[in-house]
Amino acid sequence: MGVKVLAIVLAGGEGKRLMPLTADRAKPGVPFGGIYRMIDFVLSNLANAGYLKIVVLTQYKSHSLDRHISKTWRMSTLLGNYVTPVPAQQRLGPRWFAGSADAIYQSLNLINDETPDYVIVFGADHIYRMDPKQMVKAHIASGAAVTVAGIRQPKSLSDQFGVIDVAEDGRRIRAFREKPREVEGLPDAPDEIYASMGNYVFTTRALCEAVTADARDPDSKHDMGGNIIPMLVERGEANVYDFRDNDVPGSTDRDRGYWRDVGTLDSFYDAHMDLIATLPVFNLYNMDWPIFTNYGSWPPAKFVHSHDDRQGRAVQSMISPGVVISGAYVERSVVSPSVRVNSWAHVEGSVLMDNVSVGRRAVIRNAIIDKNVIIPEGAQIGVDLDRDRKLYTVSDGGVVVVGKNQHVEL
- Among residues 340, 408, 400, 355, the alpha carbon closest in space to that of 378 is found at 408
Measured CA to CA, the distance from residue 75 to residue 79 in angstroms comes to 9
Can you give the three-state secondary structure of 251-309, one letter per residue?
CCCCCCCCEEECCCHHHHHHHHHCCCCCCCCCCCCCCCCCCCCCCCCCCCCEEECEECC
Q: Is it true that the peptide bond before 154 is cis, omega within 30 degrees of 0?
A: no
Q: Is 71 annotated as a binding residue?
A: no
Taken as a whole, the chain contains a residue count of 410
- Among residues 322, 325, 334, 324, the alpha carbon closest in space to that of 297 is found at 322
Full DSSP string of 334-360? EE-TT-EE-TT-EEES-EE-TT-EE-T
Helices (H), 73-198: 100-105, 108-114, 132-142
Q: Is 179 annotated as a binding residue?
A: yes
Residue 258 contacts residue 246 (beta carbons within 8 Å): no
What are the strands, taking DSSP E only, across 160-254? Answer: 162-166, 173-178, 192-203, 238-242
Can you give the three-state secondary structure of 2-36, one letter per residue?
CCCEEEEEEECCCCHHHCCCCCCCCHHHCEECCCE
Residues 6+ apart with CB under 8 A from 146: 139, 200, 201, 202, 203, 206, 207, 228, 229, 232, 237, 238, 239
Residue 195's φ and ψ, nearest 5 degrees, are: -95, 135
Query: Cα dist. 270→57, 153, 303, 338, 368 in Å?
Result: 27, 17, 26, 23, 11
SS3 assignment, position 66: helix
Q: Which residues are annotated as a binding site?
A: 162, 178-179, 196
Q: Which residues are annotated as a binding site for alpha-D-glucose 1-phosphate?
A: 162, 178-179, 196
